[in-house]
């Protein structure tokens, strides 16, 4: 079986899950799904708004929001697992406050951790640069200035290098002229 056929099989499996299994789960566990949709509204919004590749912000908010919704889902499962049970849980102001404030903690983590990580990485970079500089100084002391790449160039090498740069500049000019003709022509 080729990779394309396997990819097509995986896509069909996802379609079956999303159009057959998911509605059955929503129907079977409707009170829990309703509680989670209302309780995790900030996570749904964050998922829609977050444009970063890994959806890091949405994940941070979603995990904490789920942690805030889970006690009420357990309370729903152990108590009255019906639509009226959901409405009575959501009627408690403290329930929505806990669910939404846990999502707010995810937003706070998102805003606080970026500067903290930036500062940490800057310090880590400085320590690494200082370590490399010290090691380089030790090598220069042991082996001489050639280790750092500061050896003097001979005059013939310098003239050859200048000829290569001039030839490269000419090729670059020709390529730019060709591109300009293609755009105009």
Note the pLDDT tens digit of each residue in 76-125.
999 888 888 889 888 988 999 999 999 999 999 988 988 999 999 999 99
Q: Is 64 in contact with 109 (CB distance < 8 Å)? A: yes
Q: What is the pLDDT of residue 52?
A: 86
Share of the chain above pLDDT 70, in %: 75
Q: Supply angle C-alpha 165, 158, 164, rounded to 5.
A: 20
Note the pLDDT tens digit of each residue in 36-46.
999 999 999 99
Q: What is the pTM of this model?
A: 0.58
Burial of 67 (0-12, 13-18, 19+ CB in 10 A): middle
Q: Per-residue pLDDT averaged across 24-48, rounded? A: 88
Q: Is 69 in contact with 36 (CB distance < 8 Å)? A: yes
Confidence tier at 137 by pLDDT (50, 70, 90): confident
Residue 169 tokens, joined: 């500049």
Rounded-to-integer distance, Cα 8 and Cα 2, Å? 10
């Amino acid at each position: 079986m080729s990779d394309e056929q396997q990819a097509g099989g995986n896509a069909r499996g996802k379609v079956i899950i999303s159009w057959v299994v998911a509605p059955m789960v929503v129907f079977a566990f409707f009170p829990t799904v309703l509680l989670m949709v209302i309780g995790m509204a900030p996570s749904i919004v964050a998922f829609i708004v977050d444009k970063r590749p890994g959806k890091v912000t949405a994940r941070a908010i979603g995990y904490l929001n789920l942690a805030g919704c889970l006690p009420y889902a357990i309370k729903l499962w152990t108590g009255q697992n019906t639509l009226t049970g959901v409405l009575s849980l959501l009627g408690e102001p403290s329930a929505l406050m806990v669910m939404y404030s846990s999502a707010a903690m995810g937003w706070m983590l998102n805003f606080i951790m970026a500067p903290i990580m930036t500062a940490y990485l800057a310090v880590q970079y400085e320590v690494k640069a200082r370590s490399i500089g010290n090691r380089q100084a030790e090598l220069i002391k042991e082996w001489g200035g050639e280790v750092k790449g500061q050896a003097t160039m001979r005059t013939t090498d310098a003239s050859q290098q200048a000829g290569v740069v001039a030839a490269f500049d000419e090729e670059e000019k020709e390529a730019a002229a060709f591109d300009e003709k293609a755009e105009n022509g």
